[in-house]
Amino acid sequence: MLIKQISIFVENKPGRLSAVTKLLSDNGIDIRALSVADTKDFGILRLIVNNPTKACEVLKEADCTVSLTNVIAIGIHDKPGGLSAAMDCLYSANISVEYMYAFISKSEDQAYVILRVENNDKAVEALKENDFTILKAEEVYDM
Amino acid sequence: MANYWNKEIECMSREDMKKLQDERLVAQVKHVYENVPYYKNLMDEKGVTPDDIKSTDDLHKLPFLTKADLREAYPYGLLAKPLSECVRIQSTSGTTGKRVVAFYTQHDVDLWEDCCARAITAVGGTNEDVCQVAYGYGLFTGGPGLNGGSHKVGCLTLPMSSGNTERQIQFMTDLGATILCCTPSYAAYIGETLKEMGISPDDLKLKAGIFGAEPWTEEMRREIEKSLGIKAYDIYGLTETSGPGVAFECEAQTGMHINEDHFFAEIIDPDTGEVLPEGSKGELVFTSLTKEAFPLLRYRTRDICVLTREKCSCGRTLVKMCKPMGRSDDMLIIRGVNVFPSQIETVLIEQGYAPNYLIEVDRRNNTDTLDINVELTEEQFSDTVKGIQEKEYELAQAIKTILGINPKVHLVSPKSIARSEGKAVRVVDKRKLHD
Ligand SMILES: [Zn+2]
């Protein structure tokens, strides 16, 4: 159920982001989804890729600070009100969302949202009960 | 015309001064040997006895004292008088290990205040003056030292302590302060605040300032003199030797006269410990000739300095030291606080960081800033911005607890701080503190 997201610490210096993405593409890793959270001094680049384990190795070899985080991916076109309905569902279950970001698949005309919550099991349970489509890890990696 | 607090001493012939120093040193070495087992051991190890010290010419035979000795002997190990005869302590800031606690008998307080009185008199202070002391009071020696000196001279003393700048300016204008004593950076800050408040130096009665406790340049002197409409004078001292007043500047403003009837100065090679001839640049070493409770012999200040006996236009014959030109160790003075990079390193290791860091010190708006770049480790990395900012905050708090000043911590990528071969560059001091 859970998807391995790669988080990379990047200092706010010119060229840092592009160096990371180039390193991944040079090693045959495709990026499925991406988001950046940044402050004045640093940013955190969050990636969903086709092969998280390999991506992690490659990045560590290049002295990047990397961590793997379990996140949830849901489809949001299946239900009316999509995203806000999902938020309501988590809110009612008392689960706070640390952050989230959306992405679109190439093949289908479908939007997905990556959710990072404080309690994955509880969140999955709540979302399932309310009939949200939760993507399997392989589905996302092979998208 | 020059003013003296104690003309007999301040203008004493070299010959008479040497005689006085010789007598005082012989008595002091005996006092220390008999009352400070820690120093007696150092002397015994070197095979020196008080009988070997017949004059200041024999001073080089005595062992040095360093900050490490003070640390080891903390708190009472260098005390030479029973506590029943001590009336005061003063202390430096910093951790227990690096903190210096100095003890004073009433005689010691008197001689210290006397030295400060000489400094105030040298800048033209008399009992007609209003002396505003804006150094910190308390454990820090700045406030108590100048406060005592000001009393001795008979100035109307304003014991303001530091901070609350608008109140400082209000007292300065309402009570017509004529002499200001504080750190040079605070003097510059007061100058700027005056300007912002639309107060011209012509509206003030200030004529002189005595500024010490941190390094400052001739350029800062000119700025302060202009913004406050005064003559700005330097003063030198350290808690180990008593506090401010070990040396003071006269009207010539070309270096500080050392109160050498109380403090004997030597210049040594910091690497070999060898005494260097007069006029050489080296590390300043002080021997306290008259202090009773905490009489340090050959204390290495780590300040790099030059001494001169060239005739001074003020008429004083006291030897002069230049402004310290740097340090022979890595100590930084930030906002008047002594900071060793090793203190920061200790906190980093305790908090689980690698000891790879870069300290950046700068001065913005006349206030010292301390930025510490620390390499993030994999274990410390969390994937939220909040998580990293919390880590930075926690580390800054831990460092603040140790140093007493608030740093800005920046977590940076691992291996992003340059490794240099041999001695790593840990500190970048962007302040221009030495000419
Ligand atoms: Zn002079």
Tell me, yes or no, whether A128 and A98 share the same domain: yes
Residue range A43-51: average pLDDT? Answer: 93
Tell me the nearest-neighbour CA distance from B328 into chain A, angstroms.
Answer: 34
Domain boundary among A47, A69, A91: A69
Q: Do A39 and B389 touch (CB under 8 A)?
A: yes
Tell me, yes or no, whether A53 and A93 share the same domain: no
Tell me, yes or no, whether A121 and A93 share the same domain: yes
Per-residue model confidence (pLDDT) at position B381: 86
CB nearest to B383's CB, from A7, A10, A64: A7
Within 8 A of A98 by CB-CB distance, chain B residues are 384
Kindly identify which residue of chain B lies nearest to residue A68, measuring between CA atoms: B383
Q: Do B385 and A38 touch (CB under 8 A)?
A: yes
CB nearest to A39's CB, from B377, B383, B385: B385
Domains and CATH numbers, chain B: 1-327 (3.40.50.12780), 332-429 (3.30.300.30)
Tell me the nearest-neighbour CA distance from B145 into chain A, angstroms.
Answer: 43
What is the per-residue DSSP string for B278-303? TT-EEEEEEEESS-SSS--SSEEEEE
Per-residue model confidence (pLDDT) at position B98: 65
Within 8 A of A99 by CB-CB distance, chain B residues are 384
Residue B361's DSSP bridge partners are B370, B429
What percentage of residues in chain A have a pLDDT greater than 70? 95
**CB environment B247-277: b (16+ within 10 A), e (fewer):** bbbbbebebbbbbbbbbbbbbbebeeeeebe
Q: Are B370 and B363 in contact (CB under 8 A)?
A: no
- Measured between alpha carbons, how far is B59 from B105 in angstroms, rounded to an integer? 25
Is the pLDDT assigned to residue A105 strictly greater than 80? Answer: no
Instruction: Kindly state the tokens that stand for B247.
Output: 């040396």
Contacts for B419 with CB less than 8 Å, ≥ 6 apart: B356
Q: Do B413 and A116 touch (CB under 8 A)?
A: no
What is the B11 CA–ligand 1 centroid distance (Å)? 10
> Chunked in runs of 10, what are the mean pLDDT values of chain B (435 residues)?
91 98 98 98 98 98 95 94 98 70 97 98 98 95 97 98 94 97 92 94 97 87 95 96 97 97 97 95 97 98 94 96 88 86 85 86 88 88 88 94 90 78 73 70
For chain A, the average pLDDT equals: 87
Please, what is the end-to-end C-alpha distance for chain A in angstroms? Answer: 15
Q: Do A67 and B412 touch (CB under 8 A)?
A: no
Number of domains into which chain A is organized: 2
Tell me, yes or no, whether A87 and A133 share the same domain: yes
Tell me, yes or no, whether A103 and A136 share the same domain: yes
Could you give the C-alpha distances from A70 to A31, A45, A96, A120, A122, in angstroms and in order? 17, 15, 15, 8, 13
What is the B292 CA–ligand 1 centroid distance (Å)? 28
Tell me, yes or no, whether A60 and A110 share the same domain: no
**CATH (domain of A25):** 3.30.2130.10
Per-residue model confidence (pLDDT) at position B423: 54
Q: Do B378 and A99 touch (CB under 8 A)?
A: no
Tell me the nearest-neighbour CA distance from B378 into chain A, angstroms.
Answer: 6
Q: Are B25 and B287 in contact (CB under 8 A)?
A: yes
Q: Which domain holds residue A55?
A: 2-69
Domain boundary among A34, A69, A104: A69
The CB density around residue B83, as the number of other CB atoms within 10 Å, is 10
Tell me, yes or no, whether A105 and A52 share the same domain: no
Type of residue found at B68: A
**pLDDT category of residue A80 using cuts at 50, 70 and 90:** low
Interface size, chain A vs chain B, as Cβ–Cβ contacts under 8 Å: 48
Domain boundary among A69, A102, A121: A69
Tell me, yes or no, whether A83 and A37 share the same domain: no
Tell me, yes or no, whether A59 and A108 share the same domain: no
Cβ–Cβ contact A40 with B under 8 A: no
Q: pTM higher than 0.80, yes or no?
A: no
Q: Exposure of B335 by Cβ count < 10 A (0-12 exposed, 13-18 middle, 19+ buried)?
A: buried
- Measured between alpha carbons, how far is A132 from A90 in angstroms, rounded to an integer? 11
Instruction: Kindly state the tokens that stand for B403.
Output: 């140093």
- Measured between alpha carbons, how far is A104 from A82 in angstroms, rounded to an integer? 14
Tell me, yes or no, whether A99 and A122 share the same domain: yes
Cβ–Cβ contact B360 with A under 8 A: no
Q: Do A42 and B411 touch (CB under 8 A)?
A: yes
**pLDDT category of residue A66 using cuts at 50, 70 and 90:** very high
Within 8 A of A5 by CB-CB distance, chain B residues are 383
Q: Where are the extended beta strands (E) located within B213-339? A: 231-238, 243-249, 256-258, 263-268, 281-288, 299-308, 320-321, 326-327, 332-334, 337-339
Q: Write the ipTM.
A: 0.81
Q: Are B356 and B365 in contact (CB under 8 A)?
A: no
Tell me, yes or no, whether A94 and A64 share the same domain: no
Q: Are B293 and B105 in contact (CB under 8 A)?
A: yes
- Structure confidence by residue, pLDDT tens digits, A129-140: 888 888 888 888
**CATH (domain of A88):** 3.30.70.260
Per-residue model confidence (pLDDT) at position B199: 96
Q: Do A67 and B378 touch (CB under 8 A)?
A: yes
**Helix, strand, coil percent values for chain B (each to nearest 5):** 35, 25, 40
Per-residue model confidence (pLDDT) at position B339: 87
- Measured between alpha carbons, how far is A124 from A132 in angstroms, rounded to an integer? 9
Whether the bond between B75 and the residue before it is cis, its omega within 30 degrees of 0, is yes
Tell me, yes or no, whether A126 and A115 share the same domain: yes
- Angle, alpha carbons A138-A139-A141 (nearest 5°): 60
Q: Do B376 and A99 touch (CB under 8 A)?
A: no
Tell me the nearest-neighbour CA distance from A80 into chain B, angstroms.
Answer: 30
Kindly identify which residue of chain A lies nearest to residue B375, measuring between CA atoms: A65
